[in-house]
Structures are given as C-alpha cells and as structure tokens.
Amino acid sequence: MNDKALKTIRQIRMLSAETVENAKSGHPGMPMGAAAIAYALYHHIMKYDPEHPDWVDRDRFILSAGHASALLYTMLYLYGYEVSLEDLKNFRRLGSRTPGHPEFWCLPGVETTTGPLGAGFSNGVGMALGERRLRSILGENVINHYTYVLSSDGDMMEGIVYEAASFAGTQKLDRLVVFYDSNRISIEGNTDLALTENVAERFRAMNWYVTEVDGTDPDEVVEGWRRSMKEGQGMPKLIICHTTIAMDGGPKEGSEKSHGSPLGEDVLKEMRRKYGYPEDEWFHLDPDVRTHIEKRLVELKRQYQEWDAAFHEWRRSDHDRWTLYRRLVGKISGEIDYPTWEPGSMEATRKSSGKILNAVAKAMPALVGGSGDLAPSNVTWLHDEEAMDDSHPDGRNIHFGIREHAMGGIVNGLALHGGHLPYGATFLVFSDYMRAPIRLSALMKAHVIWILTHDSFMVGEDGPTHQPIEHVDSLRLIPKLKVIRPADGNETVAAYRFALTYNGPTVLALTRQSLPQLAESSRVPENLTGYVLKQAGSDPDIQLFASGSEVHMALEAAQILEKEEGYSVEVISVPLLDLSDPGNLPALISRREKAIRIAVEAGTTRLFASFGIPHRIGLSRFGESGPGKDVAAHLGFTPRGIAERCKDIVLRERE
C-alpha cells in the first residue's frame, strides 16, 4: 500500500467516524474496518462518473450492510458526487439527505434502499440479471458493466442471502461480485456465537467462485478482484475480505462496542493525533487526498466520454436496436390488444390475468418476470418466450424456484437497474415470505407488479395453511402499495392498465376459482377505487361494498333481498381500497347518507371501517380443508348466506 492510498483510507475512516460522532448515533465500526475495500472499489475497480450518476452503463454499487451508511456517504462526498460536507454533518437528522440507512436516490450514487440485512444482496442479484439481459439484447457498446455488493457477517446470517446466492449460482451471473467484509463481530459479540459454518465452502457449493484476502490492504483487495475475474469466469464471485471492526479506533478496535454506537470524542482525538490531523478540527480534509482522488476522477470522466462517443455512433448506425433501447429504458408499450369476455362466462381472474399478461408482453418488451415455482398455478408464463438462463440471457420467463423472499429482492433489483418492468408471482398466502421486499418496493416506489393468486379460503382442499385471511388487509396497510382485487376479467384489465403506469408497486390479488363475467363491470382504471355496479334509485336501504370474488355474490344477494324482503340495494365494487388515496369511495358513501352500509369480503375486512362502513361480512378465523364450495357454504359465503346476514344487520339497525 503506497502513501497516497494509506492517507485516503485514513481519511475515509476519519470522516466516517466523525459523521457518526457528530450525529451522536450510528455505526462507525464497519465503515472504519471496510475503508480499504471501499477505497479499492471507488479508486481502482468500479466504472462510474459522478457527474453522470444515472449513466446507464455505470457499475452498480450496493451497500447491503446498510448500517454502514456513513461509509457510503463519505465515499460519495470524497469521489465527486453532488454530496456536500454539510450532508455529512446532517447525518441522521430530520429532513437530511443522509438518513440512517441509505434510501434509494436520497443522494446520487445510492442505488437502492438498504437496511434490512440481505435485501441489498438480493437486489444485486436482480441488477446483475438485468445487466446480462440488456447486454444480450442491446450489445456491449451500450451495456457492459458489473454489479458490486459490499456485504457483512450480518448479511451472511440472513436466509434471503442464501436463497439469492443459490439462484445467482444457478444462473451463472458472472458479473455479480460480492465483497464480504468479514470482521467477525455483530451486536451481541463475536459471530462465533451464532455463525460457525464455512461460508466459503457454502458459496462454492452454490457454484460461486470464492477467494479470500486481507481486507485492510487495498492492493490485496484489488488483486483478489483481478484473480476472481480471471479464474471465476462463468460464475458469480465472493471475495471474503478479512477485516478488523473500527480499525484505528483505539480501545474500540475489534469490539462489538463499535458496531452501533459512536466511538467517543477521546477516541477521535487520538485518531487525529495518529493521522497527523489538527486535534480539534472536525471534518478536516487532507489536501493530498483531494489531489489523489481528483486524478482518479479525470480517468473516470474519460471512460464516460469514450462510452458516450461509442453510444452515439451505435445510435446512428443501429436504428432498430436504438428504437428497442428507448422502449426498454422508457418502458414504452405499443398498442395492447386486451382480451374481452362474454357476460356470464366463467373464468378465474388468475386465468384472465395470464391472458392479459401475454397481451402486455407482446406490446411491452420491458416486461419480464416469473414465479416462485408456481407459474402453471399463477398463470404467469409468457408464451413463445424462452426461460432466462446463461444460454438464453434474453429470456423473459424467470424460474425463481421456491425462494419467495429472494424473488422479491431480485424483482426489486431488476426494477432499480432500469430497462425492465418486472413481475413476481406466488400464492397470496406466501406473501408472508416476501413481505419485506414488497414493503421495500413501496418505500422505493419501484415499478413492479406482484401477482398473488389463490386469494381466499376458496383455495379449498389445501386447507388453512394455503388459505389467506388477513393478507389483503395486511398488504393494504403498506403505504404507496396499491392492492387490487378484481371481480372479473374486465376489472383485471383495469388493474393492469393502472399497474403499467403507476409510479410504484401494485399487487394483483387473483382468484383460483372461476367467477362469472359481469355485464356492467369496468375496464377503466379510474373506477378501481369504487363504482356502482347495481343502481337502486335515489334512496336505497342498503349499500353493499365488495371486492373480488364477493362482488358477484353481493349482486346475487341484492336480488334476494329485493325480491324476498323488499329492500332496495345498491352494489358497489371496490377493487382498490386505498387508505392514503380513497379516490371515489367517500363520494359514493356520502351520496347515500340514510343507507345501511355493509362491506363483504372473504377476509378480515377491518379496513372498510376506516371509510365509514360500519358493518362487515368477513372472517376473523382461519379456513377449513375441503372443496371450496363446501367451505364457502360452511362459512356463510354464498349469496343466500350474505343476504341472511344483511337482513340481520338491517333488523338490528332498525330496532
């Protein structure tokens, strides 16, 4: 390690430690221990241009260990991104650009939201998958980059990492490079308390190339990277970097006490003395470091200019692929030939979704995705398209395997990489396995579609383990996530039209069982937050609100109530119950002040109360194993059963 490298690494440690100390909150240990890894990446390995942070062919860097955010912010500041010293000083303060964990595009150079350990690792797998697909379609003049992930001991304890790593090994994602900061410390102490397996051998068993280096020496880190490039062709790469947490942190060096707490001003003063910095000057910047980095930035700018020139030549000479590029990057669709249905015909909304998905795929080359080993059941296979693998990197069908958690993170990574509108599918009940990435997709406003089928107890014989009850309401609680439960094919078309243009993630909750196609159902996205399916004059006795598979039951129950009890009943379909943006629903409710309002849904239904619908016909128990129709009858979810319960509610209200 030469003097300039040593000075720069010390500068990284000092700024990171001061950033945390100034906030009186944070994690200084890993930033200090991994400073040499970060230096090797930003100064010698990665391709990027801080003046063009959204450069389509930049290498992607993901700090999977998001608690080390002070390291990332320090690197972005030092290496020329639009990040100021004030940003470092405002670390973890309300309204700052430098939150406690990196959030997607809080600063240029932050590629994804990390914090939940393992999430960034799985996002990296998705980004590497996206790079390979675009490179195969557009050519290396346009797309030719790597995905680098900095992970930690904590990542290696998370199950999502091994799900995602297994997938990456199977896919042979050889442009995915993970640097594992192995400092052997977690919050509770030495990692031997909970992590004793041979991580290197585990990754080798998953078809990764693995090498080990001294992570405190940038020359060794760079050499390990070069060795992996040469010897690990056709394989994702894990570079295990042995480090010391809080290196140069005096009594806190090597201790779990440096993991999640500031070091203390006395420790920082001693570090300044050791480094030759003014003892009482915070955030001092060594001029030799600035000069050293500026030379690197000149090289990086030249790399971008060379790519830009080649890109413009490609753009002039290859009109067809340039047109495809614009459609992929802009997620532009052509005219979509949506299917239609005859009123009264029967079809499950999962099957309607499959038809629509294929129609969208024909018009939108950015659409790509797959299922957690349930494509035949979710009906998510794109016809006439290959399965994606190393032999068919341009394939549009992804076999995620039974890895719901990793699938969620990989789908998010595909979306964040750009050039894709990805979807991921499983049974609704198994959304529990992927709630964290679904939540992160909402937090990041990632443009993804979650296709969750078998959406109620009507799954039938598989029983309560496969029958979602609380799941739709649970997902509705996630801000910015739009959960749509269509009643038939037309409403499923409306759901897709919404999902294709919404700036964020959408859940489509779809049925296993066949439903009747409704004569008056809407294909208009604007009606998703509620519209009248059955009118009932100016002063109805009852307003019935329903979604999904209960809409046709509500319509039939209304006929029973009108014919047998003489009640006037209005039926409103509410495919999208949105707490943050209720849309049409308040107006539909307020126009019928005297009506008794009742919600019908095969689930917990509690969120309907938030909109002033006091009566709900739903479930507060698990389902049963048996044929779906038998279970429905047992639970009272038939038109007759709903009508009887509505009648009881009206009688109680009028007593």
Q: Which sequence positions are flagged as catalytic?
A: 404
Chain Cα centroid distance, residue 250:
39
Q: Which residues have C-beta within 8 Å of that of residue 217, sequence separation ≥ 6?
A: 1, 36
Output the six-digit token pair for 205. 């068993």
Distance CA 646, CA 635 (A): 15
CA distances from 571 to 386, 529, 535, 581, 637 (A): 44, 14, 7, 21, 16
Output the six-digit token pair for 262. 């500031």
Distance CA 149, CA 246 (A): 20
361 SS3 class? helix
Cα end-to-end distance, the chain, whole Å: 86
Q: Taking a C-beta distance cutoff of 8 angstroms, is the pair 30, 65 a contact?
A: yes
The HSE-up count of residue 214 (CA atoms within 13 Å, CB side) is 6
Buried b / exposed e along 318-354 (16+ C-beta atoms within 10 A): beebbebbebbbebebeebebeebeeeeebbbbbbbb
Output the six-digit token pair for 649. 């509610």
Q: Taking a C-beta distance cutoff of 8 angstroms, is the pair 408, 426 a contact?
A: no
Output the six-digit token pair for 281. 């000057």
511 SS3 class? coil
Distance CA 155, CA 116 (A): 9
Residue showing tokens 């993970």: 178
Distance CA 398, CA 392 (A): 11
Output the six-digit token pair for 596. 């008794």
Q: Which residues have C-beta within 8 Å of that of residue 521, sequence separation ≥ 6?
A: 487, 488, 489, 490, 491, 533, 573
Q: Taking a C-beta distance cutoff of 8 angstroms, is the pair 63, 52 a contact?
A: no
Output the six-digit token pair for 550. 């209960």
- What is 144-166 written as a DSSP string? ---EEEEEEHHHHHSHHHHHHHH
Q: Which residues have C-beta within 8 Å of that of residue 118, sequence separation ≥ 6?
A: 64, 155, 158, 159, 160, 161, 164, 409
Q: Which residues have C-beta within 8 Å of that of residue 260, sequence separation ≥ 6?
A: 26, 27, 29, 67, 187
CA distances from 119 to 152, 262, 436 (A): 12, 25, 8
Tell me how crowded residue 177 is: count the other CB atoms within 10 A of its CB.
25
Distance CA 557, CA 567 (A): 11
Nearest to residue 119, comparing CAs of 405, 404, 480?
405
Nearest to residue 45, comparing CAs of 171, 228, 234, 310?
228
